[in-house]
């Protein structure tokens, strides 16, 4: 299984930068002073999530299938380990987000904050409704809705709600990943045996484009179709499948001695850059393009980025390799934690810029004197987010994961993982 133990240091860096970009995508727009140009930086935020889904398929196929393209451990063991990797991140981030939401509503630094609660959600649409009447998108969940969505979150099924995102919105990606992991033992061995991988990737891409084309042709870009395209695990499954097929293609090319040379690498860099620039331009030409770019038009560019990073050689410095591993291991916590961390950081900044000395004696006067957030402190937020997510992964997630495995797989004691196995677990520290 020499191929399964190959080290892809480039994918460690890629995972980290995908996580960092999604953080920027969801937070940079909060600074009015830079909104005239910040959209050019954040418009393709969905590129990061899609690439992460493809990367997950690639890594799992690379590590958990043997040379005969068979699972190297029982499906039950595989699924239990995947659950143990995801659940601590999801529950930990969800509880933090719920606590932050309740705290923000209580403090009510702004009029918008005053309306924040666990029950408040925004309907997921991609038409002019929110521009014409923003109140039409605001919704307060009743008791039945609230508890129904609590149950969905407890069982990591919240990505299946197409109407709105609850509690910790970015965590829908964890719900989708969990579904992908459940399908892996059944689809991956078959996909890896496909010989004509280019044709299979093309067919997968075309199938992925069918749902957005249907939505564009027959709907007003309203709900629930927007939410379905955005996060429904079945609709997003082609990205995970594409990652498995990309692994099969890589193995075939490697065995044939046809890996990329310098010219091929430069060609991929140019292709990715052109695709992104054209995508940013198309997003300014109608809402239909958002659906197409979000669900399929950029799939080959996302795969090209992963394939390019696979060819990055491992450095001789073991310290640098370990550092890259720790950053890569923090990628999924960054996806899950960045929103509540930003709320904590920005509200704390506002209070500190006001009259914080008033807080011990008169909290309301202290809050009334709060200042404004500054984009100049934004790099501090990014740095703190990275550090906290590394600590969250290594000090909380790993410990809970070990406890879950000792409970659910008592006959299989937790062992030290190989580097390749840790690569397949985006949450595992290196």
* pLDDT tens-digit series, residues 114-165: 778 888 999 988 877 766 677 888 889 999 999 999 999 999 999 999 999 9
- The vertex-250 CA angle with 9 and 207, nearest 5°, equals 115
The answer to whether the CB of 205 falls within 8 A of the CB of 299 is: yes
- The vertex-342 CA angle with 425 and 50, nearest 5°, equals 40
Calculate the alpha carbon distances from 92 to 239, 397, 410 in Å: 26, 8, 24
**For residues 331-356, b (16+ Cβ closer than 10 Å) or e, as one string?**
bbbbbbbbbbbbbbbbbebbbeebbe
pLDDT score at 187: 96
The set of residues, in sequence order, having a beta carbon less than 8 Å from that of 157 and lying 6+ positions away, is 151, 175
Average pLDDT over every residue of 293-306? 96
pLDDT in tens, 182-222: 999 999 999 999 999 999 999 999 999 999 999 999 988 88
The answer to whether the CB of 302 falls within 8 A of the CB of 54 is: yes
d(CA 267, CA 261): 10
Overall pTM surpassing 0.85 (yes/no) = yes
d(CA 160, CA 365): 43
d(CA 352, CA 350): 6
pLDDT score at 412: 53
Share above pLDDT 90 across residues of the chain, in percent, rounded to a whole number: 62
Q: How many residues does the chain have?
A: 430
Calculate the alpha carbon distances from 393 to 7, 28, 39, 43, 116 in Å: 21, 24, 30, 28, 28
3-state DSSP assignment of residue 250: helix
Calculate the alpha carbon distances from 9 to 24, 78, 216, 287, 290 in Å: 23, 24, 40, 37, 32
pLDDT(421) > 60:
no
């Amino acid at each position: 299984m020499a191929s399964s133990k190959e080290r892809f240091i480039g994918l460690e860096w890629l995972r980290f930068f995908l996580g960092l970009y999604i953080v920027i995508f969801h937070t940079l727009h909060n600074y009015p002073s830079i909104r005239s140009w910040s959209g050019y930086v954040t418009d393709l935020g969905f590129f990061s999530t899609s690439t992460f889904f493809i990367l997950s398929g690639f890594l799992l196929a690379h590590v958990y299938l043997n040379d005969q393209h068979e699972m190297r451990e029982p499906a039950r063991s595989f699924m239990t380990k995947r659950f143990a990797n995801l659940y601590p991140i999801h529950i930990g981030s969800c509880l933090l987000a719920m606590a932050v939401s309740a705290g923000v509503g209580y403090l009510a630094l702004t009029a918008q904050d005053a309306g924040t609660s666990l029950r408040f959600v925004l309907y997921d649409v991609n038409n002019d409704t929110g521009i014409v009447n923003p109140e039409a998108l605001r919704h307060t969940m009743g008791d039945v809705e609230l508890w129904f969505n609590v149950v969905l979150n407890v069982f990591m099924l919240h990505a299946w709600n197409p109407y709105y995102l609850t509690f910790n919105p970015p965590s829908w990606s964890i719900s989708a990943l969990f579904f992908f992991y459940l399908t892996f033992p059944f689809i991956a061995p078959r996909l890896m045996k496909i010989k004509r991988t280019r044709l299979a990737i093309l067919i997968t891409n075309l199938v992925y484009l069918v749902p957005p084309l249907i939505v564009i042709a027959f709907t007003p870009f309203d709900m629930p179709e927007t939410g379905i395209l955005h996060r429904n695990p079945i609709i997003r499954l082609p990205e995970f499948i594409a990652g498995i097929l990309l692994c099969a293609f890589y193995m075939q090319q490697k065995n044939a001695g046809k890996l990329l040379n310098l010219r091929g690498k430069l060609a991929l860099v140019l292709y990715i850059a052109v695709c992104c620039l054209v995508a940013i331009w198309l997003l300014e030409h109608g809402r239909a393009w958002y659906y197409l770019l979000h669900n399929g038009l950029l799939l080959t560019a996302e795969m090209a980025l992963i394939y390019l990073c696979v060819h990055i050689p491992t450095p001789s410095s073991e310290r640098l390799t370990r550092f890259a591993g720790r950053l890569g291991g923090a990628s999924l916590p960054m996806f899950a934690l960045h929103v509540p961390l930003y709320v904590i950081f920005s509200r704390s900044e506002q209070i500190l810029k006001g009259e914080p000395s008033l807080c011990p004696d008169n909290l309301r006067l202290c809050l009334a004197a709060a200042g404004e957030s500054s984009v100049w402190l934004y790099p501090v937020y990014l740095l703190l987010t990275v550090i906290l997510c590394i600590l969250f992964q290594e000090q909380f997630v790993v410990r809970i994961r070990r406890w879950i495995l000792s409970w659910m797989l008592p006959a299989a004691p937790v062992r030290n993982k190989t580097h390749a196995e840790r690569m397949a677990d985006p949450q595992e520290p290196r």
